[in-house]
Chain A
Amino acid sequence: EDKVVQSPLSLVVHEGDTVTLNCSYEVTNFRSLLWYKQEKKAPTFLFMLTSSGIEKKSGRLSSILDKKELFSILNITATQTGDSAIYLCAEFGNEKLTFGTGTRLTIIP
């Protein structure tokens, strides 16, 4: 059965700090790795990664995939209070998304 593990489960940092969130996966028929941000309601899409070693960036957020070691990281630099959320990692394989439990990130002003 496909499995996605995220770490840490919870992280509290001060505004301006840089954070790294981790995601490892064990899947069959891997096609892509996705990151989502979830505040109070629906997960909102951040990145989709399909190739190893190619960093994707969006403002202060960036992510990279290592298909050999089966993991991905999400970096957030110069964190702001609006970054407080749950960050979900999911792999798309076997025609559906399998999610990790998420990392709850709290930014202290």
Chain B
Amino acid sequence: DTGVSQDPRHKITKRGQNVTFRCDPISEHNRLYWYRQTLGQGPEFLTYFQNEAQLEKSRLLSDRFSAERPKGSFSTLEIQRTEQGDSAMYLCASSLDGRYGYTFGSGTRLTVV
């Protein structure tokens, strides 16, 4: 499979628990982005990496959120002490320098109960 893979596809968690999502980008893509999408809204930028360096973080990304891309390949997004407001679709996208469009993964749908 040469697309962007995200795991898990769905996650239901209790408020206060920690969750971690994984994204495997297209192998030759050096940029990896995380977005969050809630119902009726377009995706909102969270953070992006160029290779292993995290170059920008949105103000939406509170202290409870952390993302890593340790070897410049896959990335993880962790949410600590989840809140109901964290319920959303978390989308990962990858790109080659941002020049030729972005390929999105199928997303991880998080439900915090």
Contacts and interface: CB of A to CB of B under 8 A. Distances in A.
Interface of A: 4, 31, 34, 36, 41-45, 48, 88, 90, 92, 95-102
A101 B48 contact: no
Interface of B: 4, 33, 35, 40-45, 48, 55-56, 91, 93, 98, 100-107
Contact of B106 (A4, A34, A41, A45): A41
B106 A42 contact: yes
A49 B63 CA distance: 36
Chain A contact residues, majority secondary structure: strand
19 contacts: A34-B101, A41-B107, A42-B105, A43-B43, A43-B91, A44-B104, A45-B101, A45-B103, A88-B42, A92-B98, A96-B33, A96-B45, A96-B98, A97-B45, A97-B93, A99-B44, A101-B40, A101-B42, A102-B41
